[in-house]
């Protein structure tokens, strides 16, 4: 069994910087972390990309960036950042693979949440 | 203090919760999910919200739209906004700032940075609001004093090539506007003035209000200032709805030397305005070398005044006052001169107003009072004629609560009667707070000081006020007389004032008499005393003493009845009789009550009346004056009855014819010669008494309350004098005395004896009781005594027994075997007096039935 900090850091997040944002309150963090999976922005991002709606995709990705950044989920955050800037400038890119990477990182984050909850 | 409120506008709940979590410890938080929601919260809490944290990208209404709405609305535009952006999106930040955001913070949030930015923005806004408040005068919206200074400094620095002036204004008597029409009306007037200023100065300068009614502006110099400009400005101000004859004085300071501090420039402009205060027809003054010299001089005077007082540089001069009637010296006014070791004699017109302004006058006045008292003492010891000297009492003196003490102390120190010191109080001193001044002056007058009203006619006293002011002597202002004497004799208001003075029984001193014409005019209308250069200038003590000596000599030689300057003159009794013995006797009889003037013939009788009509109480007129002048005088007296109703008591040797003729002509009474002084006294009293019916009524009222035999209260008097029993007077003892055997004495020895006994008992009661006790003759032979704070029953009983014993003993030597009995009741709690009296009555009944001549204390 690992501690919160160990799990968190093993995942690739910075415990101190992140938890300062939550006043060191791990329970609060877990509650907000859980809300990430109820958030519809990931769904919206996928739908918009599938429909070729760059604006909608940007808005959803932009929000996800803010949220994941605030949650300190570094790997997921980086994956979201990858997609936000090209979307903002409406570049023609391989958004599909970027989206897949985001989905993969979401899965990792879900596992982190489960670990943290168990811990 | 409640925590400040922050509105967090963020669509994402996680972000919102994170933000709220960061702010939670130090602020209260309102959350909104989108711009729309934020606007309605803002509407509801706009005055409470200190800051908005705004996410830019939101559904429903995005951050930019929200920003443009609130920044366009003055109700919200002042609230600082911090935009939350994504890190690295510079364009968002720039756009947000261009929409009016005050700052931004990036996600992911760094709590320390957010808290810091929030705090400093809130603080900045509050400071700005405060500065804004200080910058503008809240009432008029003009610049405040400090900010005006600041703006003037900036303007001068920025425009070195242009020339400027500071123009200040001062509304005279603005306080009066506030006083009479109320502060809101005064405020509206100030706003009106501010508007005029704004319009006038617009584009040419700036203006500010320096508190109260002082306005200032900085104007670029385009013109020469002239009366026309300010007359117009004054007219405009007076056309304002709340202006009632306000007078505005303007002061100008031409800015030449820019190194002079702005504060001083404004001060100087204001000083210039003040220098023409009260000067009719002067609208503006420029601060120049002359004014500067004057102000510097005032400063020098101020610096030197303390030393001057300590070194006795102030010298008391005396200006004689003369009686108009006989030209004799009647008194003097003490005037202060300043003999400065370097500057020489200083003009009082220069330093007195200054001392009045800076308060030093109070100390100078006291110094003069003491010097005058010392002089009066010295003259007393040298045996000079005891003439009064008047001293000035300034307005500031009267406001001092201990003024009567100070004066009394002086009088006692120099062993002088207070009437020797006349106090001159200027009429205008009564205009502010008349109630208090009247009270103080009344007190002084009760103490025996003689009050002269200085500068009468120069102030604003109404006739009504004049009636309330405690005074003895009117001093007419010289300017007033100077303009009055130029007018035809009959039209003058001066005569009216003289009549008024007569009617109020006041003497009149005309001050500043400088020409013979003035004197003649005063003589004509019947002034009493004069003072002025025509007679004598103010002079040093030594010179005045020469006059005093001459006066003493003159009064011995020719005029025994010199008209000394008197306060309230005593009423006058004229005794016109060819026989000196009657005149001398009358002097002895009536001297204490009246000023008795004897006249051996008709001419001198009429001369004595002339000008004194107002104070002649009665004339005792011999019908057998030489040359049949008696009836002539009577004729004259009766002839002026509608103006002066002087009672006349005619006298002559027995002659029915003369008596009848006199009464027919209008004499009030007739006394046959030779008459006794006692009978003359009664006649005069009766005649005079009828005339003063008010006094007589009072006397009658008093009589109604007094027992005629004993002079004690009667029953009616007792109930009038008896207040309900007060707690602090307890215990109260009530005695009922009954003279034993009175009926028997009346029957056997006659009522005269009985009355005598009653009188003796009354006198005895008075002797054996305290002043505060109430004594009354309750019935034929019954007396009541009410003694407050009696101690206890035993003390009350002892007192009663003492009175009975003394009375018994006093009667033992007499042929009347009299005694008295007493019933005593003591009350320890507040109860109706009648109940206590009833108990005393019971006790008296017991005393009488037990043993006559004894005392009985009521026991329950």
B281 and B169 belong to one structural domain: yes
Q: Where are the domains of chain A?
A: 4-118
Q: Specify the pLDDT at position B484.
A: 52
Cβ atoms of residues B143 and B207 within 8 Å? yes
Cβ(B449)–Cβ(B422) below 8 Å: yes
**pLDDT band, very low/low/confident/very high, at B183 (cuts 50, 70, 90):** confident
In a domain, B561, yes or no: no
Q: How confident is the model at residue B342 (pLDDT cuts 50, 70, 90)?
A: confident
Looking at the structure of chain B, the number of domains it has is 5
Query: pLDDT-derived band of residue B566, with 50, 70 and 90 as boundaries?
Result: very low
B698 domain-assigned: no
Rounded to whole angstroms, what are the CA distances from B200 to B254, B350, B786? 18, 37, 81
Chain B residues close to A28, C-beta within 8 Å: 17, 21
Active site residues of B: 511
Query: In chain B, whose CA is at the least distance from the CA of A41?
Result: B12
* pLDDT value of residue B698: 47
pLDDT > 80? residue B705: no
Give B385's pLDDT tier (boundaries 50, 70, 90): confident
Domain boundary among B664, B691, B718: B691
B396 with B499, same domain: the answer is: yes
Of B12, B17, B111, the CB nearest to A66: B12
Which of B35-39, B386-390, B444-448, B851-855 is predicted least confidently?
B851-855
Rama region for B735: left / alpha / beta (φ>0; ψ in -120 to 50; rest): beta
**pLDDT range class, residue B852, cuts 50, 70, 90:** low
Q: Are B580 and B532 contained in the same domain?
A: no
Does residue B672 lie within any of the structural domains? yes
Concatenating the DSSP letter of every residue in B88-101 gives T-HHHHHHHHHTT-
A20 touching B (Cβ < 8 Å): yes
Q: Looking at the structure, do residues B381 and B435 belong to the same domain, yes or no?
A: yes
Check residue B568 and give its pLDDT: 45
Domain that holds residue B377: 313-544
Residue B551: inside a domain: no
Average pLDDT (B466-487) is 69
> Could you tell me if B338 and B449 lie in one domain?
yes
B320 in a structural domain: yes
List, as ranges, residues 78-107 from A with C-beta within 8 Å of B: 84, 88
Which stretch of B404-408, B649-653, B766-770 has the lowest confidence by average pLDDT?
B766-770
Do B157 and B129 share a domain, yes or no? Answer: no
Band of residue B563 on the pLDDT scale cut at 50, 70, 90: very low
Compute the average pLDDT of residues B22-50: 89
Mean pLDDT within B783-795: 87
Q: Determine contact, residues B365/B422, Cβ cutoff 8 Å.
A: no
Percentage of residues in chain B having pLDDT higher than 90: 19
pLDDT at B475 over 60: yes
Q: Is residue B482 pLDDT above 60, yes or no?
A: no
> Above 80 in pLDDT, residue B244?
no
Q: What is the mean predicted confidence (pLDDT) over B489-497?
A: 64
Whether the Cβ atoms of residue B542 and residue B318 lie closer than 8 Å to each other: no
Residue B850's pLDDT is 77
CB contact under 8 A, B107 and A32: no
Instruction: Give the pLDDT mean for B833-849.
Output: 87
Say yes or no to pLDDT of B1 above 80: no
User: Taking residues B804-810, what's their average pLDDT?
Assistant: 85
Strand B81-86 to B49-55 pairing = parallel
Quick one: average pLDDT of B375-394?
90
Any domain includes B560: no
Phi first, then psi: give them for residue B456, nearest 5 degrees: -60, 135
pLDDT for the residue numbered B492: 66
- Whether residue B559 is predicted with pLDDT greater than 50 in this model: the reply is no
What CATH number did the domain enclosing B129 receive? Answer: 3.40.50.2300
CATH code at A4-118: 1.20.120
Question: Measured between beta carbons, which residues in chain A are less than 8 angstroms from residue B11?
Answer: 63
Please compute the mean of the pLDDT values over residues B294-300 and round it to a whole number. 85
- State the pLDDT at residue B97: 84
Question: Contact at 8 Å (CB) between A73 and A109?
Answer: yes
Question: For the residues B360-389, what does the mean pLDDT come to?
Answer: 92
CATH number for B754: 3.30.70.270
On whether residue B666 sits in a domain, the answer given is yes
Do B443 and B349 lie in a common domain? Answer: yes
User: Which of residues B608 and A79 earns the better pLDDT score?
Assistant: A79
pLDDT of residue B699: 47
Whether B140 is covered by a domain: the verdict is no
Q: Locate tokens 């500067």: which residue?
A: B292
**Do the Cβ atoms of B17 and A32 come within 8 Å?**
yes
B153 and B248 within one domain: yes
Same domain, B598 and B619: yes
- State whether B527 and B586 are in the same domain: no
Please tell me the predicted confidence (pLDDT) of residue B431.
65
Distance from CA of B153 to the nearest CA of A (A): 49
Q: Verify that B94 and B11 share a domain, yes or no.
A: yes
Listed as ranges, residues in chain A with pLDDT below 50 are none
Best mutation target among A21, A58, A68 (most B Cβ atoms within 10 Å) is A21
Which of B8, B11, B13, B14 to probe the A interface (max A CBs under 10 A)? B14
Of B529, B544, B559, the one marking the end of a domain is B544
Compute the nearest-CA separation of B17 from chain A (Å): 8
CB-CB contact of A41 with A53 (8 Å): no
């Amino acid at each position: 069994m690992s501690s919160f900090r160990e799990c968190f850091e093993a995942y690739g997040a910075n415990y101190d910087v992140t938890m300062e944002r939550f006043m060191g309150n791990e329970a609060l963090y877990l509650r907000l972390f859980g809300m990430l999976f109820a958030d519809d922005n990931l769904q919206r991002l996928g739908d918009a990309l599938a429909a070729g709606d760059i604006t909608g995709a940007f808005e959803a990705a932009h929000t996800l960036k803010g949220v994941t950044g605030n949650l300190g989920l570094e790997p997921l955050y980086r994956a979201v950042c990858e997609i936000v800037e090209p979307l903002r400038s409406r570049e023609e890119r391989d958004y599909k693979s970027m989206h897949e990477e985001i989905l993969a990182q979401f899965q990792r984050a879900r596992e982190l949440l489960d670990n943290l909850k168990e811990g | 203090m409640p925590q400040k409120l922050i509105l967090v506008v963020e669509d994402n709940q996680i972000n919102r919760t994170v933000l709220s979590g960061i702010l939670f410890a130090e602020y209260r938080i309102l959350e909104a999910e989108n711009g729309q929601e934020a606007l309605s919260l803002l509407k509801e809490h706009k005055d409470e919200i200190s800051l908005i944290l705004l996410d830019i990208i939101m559904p429903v209404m995005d951050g930019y739209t929200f920003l443009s709405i609130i920044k366009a609305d003055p109700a919200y535009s002042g609230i600082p906004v911090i935009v939350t952006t994504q890190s690295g999106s510079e364009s968002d930040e720039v756009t947000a700032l261009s929409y009016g955001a005050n700052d931004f913070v990036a996600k992911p949030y760094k709590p320390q940075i957010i808290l810091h930015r929030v705090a400093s923005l809130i603080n900045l806004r509050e400071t700005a609001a405060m500065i804004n408040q200080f910058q503008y005068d809240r009432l008029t919206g003009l610049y405040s004093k400090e900010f005006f200074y600041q703006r003037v400094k900036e303007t001068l620095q920025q425009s070195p090539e242009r020339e400027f002036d500071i123009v200040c204004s001062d509304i005279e008597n603005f306080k009066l506007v506030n006083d009479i029409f109320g502060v809101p009306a005064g405020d509206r007037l100030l706003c009106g003035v501010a508007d005029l200023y704004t319009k006038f100065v617009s584009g040419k300068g700036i203006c500010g209000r320096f508190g109260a009614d002082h306005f200032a502006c900085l104007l670029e110099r385009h013109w020469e200032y002239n009366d026309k400009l300010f007359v117009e400005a004054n007219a405009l101000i007076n056309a304002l709805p709340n202006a009632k004859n306000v007078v505005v004085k303007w002061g100008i300071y031409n800015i030449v030397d820019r190194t002079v501090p702005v504060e001083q420039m404004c001060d100087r402009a204001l000083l210039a305005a003040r220098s023409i205060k009260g000067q009719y027809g002067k609208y503006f003054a420029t601060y120049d070398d002359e004014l500067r010299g004057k102000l510097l001089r005032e400063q020098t005077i101020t610096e030197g005044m303390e030393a001057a007082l300590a070194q006795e540089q102030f010298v008391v001069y005396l200006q004689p006052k003369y009686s108009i009637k006989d030209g004799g010296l009647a008194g003097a006014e003490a005037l202060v001169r300043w003999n400065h070791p370097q500057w020489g004699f200083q003009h009082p017109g220069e330093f007195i107003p200054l001392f009045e302004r800076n308060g030093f006058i109070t100390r100078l006045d006291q110094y003069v009072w003491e010097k005058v008292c010392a002089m009066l003492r010295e003259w007393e010891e040298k045996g000079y004629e005891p003439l009064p000297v008047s001293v000035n009492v300034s307005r500031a003196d009267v406001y001092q609560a201990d003024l009567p003490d100070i004066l009394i102390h002086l009088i006692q120190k120099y062993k002088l009667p207070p009437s020797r010191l006349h106090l001159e109080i200027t009429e205008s001193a009564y205009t502010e707070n008349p109630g208090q001044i009247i009270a103080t002056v009344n007190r002084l007058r009760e103490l025996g000081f003689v009050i002269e009203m200085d500068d009468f006619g120069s102030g604003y006293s109404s006739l009504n006020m004049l009636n309330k002011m405690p005074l003895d002597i009117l001093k007419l202002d010289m300017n007033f007389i100077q303009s009055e004497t130029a007018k035809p004799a009959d039209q003058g208001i001066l005569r009216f004032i003289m009549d008024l003075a007569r009617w109020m029984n006041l003497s009149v001193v005309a001050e500043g008499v400088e020409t013979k014409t003035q004197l003649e005019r005063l003589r004509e209308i019947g002034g009493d005393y004069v003072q002025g250069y025509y007679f004598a200038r103010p002079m040093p003590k030594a010179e005045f003493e020469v006059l005093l000596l001459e006066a003493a000599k003159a009064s011995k030689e020719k005029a025994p009845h010199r008209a000394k300057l008197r306060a309230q003159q005593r009423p006058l009794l004229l005794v016109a009789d060819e026989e000196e013995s009657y005149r001398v006797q009358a002097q002895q009889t009536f001297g204490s009550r009246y000023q008795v003037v004897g006249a051996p013939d008709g001419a001198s009788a009429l001369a004595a009346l002339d000008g004194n009509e107002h104070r002649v109480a009665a004339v005792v007129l011999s019908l057998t004056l030489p040359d049949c002048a008696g009836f002539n005088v009577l004729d004259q007296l009766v002839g002026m009855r509608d103006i002066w109703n002087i009672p006349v008591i005619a006298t002559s040797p027995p002659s029915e014819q003369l008596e009848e003729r006199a009464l027919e002509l209008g004499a009030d009474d007739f006394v046959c010669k030779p008459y006794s002084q006692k009978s003359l006294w009664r006649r005069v009293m009766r005649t005079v008494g009828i005339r003063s019916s008010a006094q007589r009524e009072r006397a009658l009222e008093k009589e109604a309350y007094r027992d005629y035999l004993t002079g004690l209260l009667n029953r009616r008097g007792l109930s009038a004098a008896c207040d309900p029993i007060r707690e602090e007077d307890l215990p109260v003892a009530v005695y009922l005395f009954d003279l034993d055997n009175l009926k028997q004495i009346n029957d056997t020895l006659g009522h005269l004896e009985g009355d005598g006994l009653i009188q003796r008992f009354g006198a005895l009661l008075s002797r054996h009781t305290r002043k505060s006790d109430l004594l009354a003759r309750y019935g034929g032979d019954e007396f009541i005594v009410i003694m407050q704070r009696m101690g206890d029953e035993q003390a009350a009983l002892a007192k009663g027994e003492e009175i009975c014993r003394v009375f018994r003993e006093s009667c033992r030597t007499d042929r009347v075997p009299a005694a008295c009995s007493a019933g005593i009741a003591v009350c320890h709690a507040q109860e109706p007096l009648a109940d206590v009296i009833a108990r005393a009555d019971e006790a008296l009944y017991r005393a009488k039935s037990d043993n006559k001549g004894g005392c009985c204390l009521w026991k329950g």
